[in-house]
Chain A
């Protein structure tokens, strides 16, 4: 009895890790951008282009890591576009982000049709060319660790490592302090000789890179190709997780895990022949998120200068 419970629990933990991973990368991207003072509602579009680039490069080149990095670069290019509008031209950041969403989806599908004989779905990557599973076959059969880690792709471990890196960068290095100061009070940061522009460009481009990673964590690991409905809303959920996690990397991680956990639970419950419909179970992650937000989180506090374009010659 206890053994069944434990192995079921291990199964849920396993799916939780799997589903959380793309969200973790993407919400880290959101954390970077918004802490520097640029709202990034375009995460969805950046994730879509990353998922496409990952799947396409993975198919043509055959190396998952080159594909993963390529996905980051593709996402970064869209970050550059967003930064160009928001930092250089003081754009309305929400509007620019919405534009990035349309452009990301449009360009991904356009390119897919060009490179895959008119199909909006890329050809599947060969099983050997997908992300490796580092702990596959390491644990003995039947052990709980095997249930949790056997099928996890390298992207999962990397995601957690990235949270650590971003946390260290933001709170333990001077560059991180600069980034946060630019997001809190750009004028003061500017007075101290910090280039608001350069830091915001860096942060927004990096947010695209991470969102691109998030997309590739989907198309190179969880599945092995790109299709139009693959991302459908995950970027927005990552955005929500970032806000939910109070604009902090560790908070975003927990929010993503909560969401992935609810989804893992939904998948787990879905395998039984319940009276409850699978459709209702699929609602679970979203309902739980709202309930948690109402009950435990309270008012969220964005960086003070989040969303406000900075102009050097701005007069007060």
Chain B
């Protein structure tokens, strides 16, 4: 019995220190523990709080749908940051690229009048392209003038923010009487069964089918599927194509890559273009799928910064971004519910996320803790 227990410990040690997924899971667990400690210290029952969060994510079809809707942009901004990481660049600019994507999507969605099946692709592609250029600018500045991409993307974020606000106050784009833009045309709307939901037949059918009624009252849309496809595409580009090989080579060792005949500058621009496009896609999908317009923003909304956390939790793996994005989206959506239900600060979610990222930054700590336990177990 004792022997098997020791074996188990050893297995945990190996799982936690040698397998990335195991290490990530333990970090997530520890992050939740830190959150619980904060809640308990403030006089709230952490089990009750986590119970509310879990029920708030899973207990209704509409909750699950909201979680997926919340996760979609985070998966994509996470992919954007992860992609840049893989190629040796730090894209703090996903925030601004997201904004450019959503602004361009709103503009093309509102001003263009196109048939249903053409409009959405046109909107998305133009938004991705514009945001790609926005990201590419930072890559170009780095390649051409040696400007650190961290500074240029921070500045570009703010320029994008004020650009959006500028457009919102522009006549023809601003909806009169509000600090928002006009909504996009119905042909650019990607919500699932949008018109059917509001038709008489649809409403009648939904009345008889409470599951579907609950699920479809959310802004459920195709965005999540597109995000998953993008993750697969990013994985494919990075690992299975010559372009991905070159990009990773630049990220791994710039000088060796150059010696090997790879054009480092060109690849940095390409990498930032793709990263920008991914974040822009997040903004475009948010517009065509959820918000249908853009509104005045006073401060950064955080899609890009959250994307950094997603990429880090995912260890920059494309597939990991899907899971980390879902985790983040779920915590944010479910976590907001502890505020109305038990008056507990929902900001505890930021503490949980921060702690997860913190533990992920120090694999050594977990190794030390576990190896000490192992030693103690051995000496007994």
Contacts and interface: CB of A to CB of B under 8 A. Distances in A.
Interface stretch (B148-156, B197-205, B234-242, B253-261): B148-156
Interface stretch (B266-274, B318-326, B352-360): B352-360
B158 A286 contact: yes
B50 interface: no
A242 to B, nearest CB: 10
Interface stretch (B159-167, B244-252, B371-379): B159-167
A101 interface: yes
B347 A286 contact: no
Interface stretch (B102-110, B111-119, B278-286, B298-306): B298-306
Contacts of B162: 279-280, 282-283, 286
Contacts of A233: 154, 157-158, 299-300
A294 B157 CA distance: 17
Contacts of A81: 358
Interface string B303-321: 0010011001000000000
Given A92-B361, A95-B357, A293-B145, A286 B159 contact: yes
B42 A289 contact: no
Interface stretch (A21-29, A109-117, A188-196): A109-117
Interface in A98-140: 98-107, 109-110, 113-114, 118, 120
A287 B159 contact: yes
A169 interface: no
A99 B154 contact: no
Contact of A103 (B152, B156, B358, B364): B358
Contacts of A232: 299-300
Nearest to A85: B362
Contacts, number: 147
A101 B305 contact: yes
Contacts of B355: 99, 103
Given A95-B357, A287-B159, A110 B166 contact: no
The list of the 6 closest CB pairs from A to B, nearest first, reads: A106-B350, A102-B354, A103-B354, A99-B358, A299-B146, A95-B361
21 contacts: A85-B365, A91-B362, A92-B361, A102-B309, A102-B354, A103-B358, A110-B351, A118-B343, A228-B299, A233-B154, A233-B158, A243-B150, A244-B151, A279-B163, A282-B165, A286-B155, A293-B145, A293-B147, A293-B151, A293-B152, A300-B148
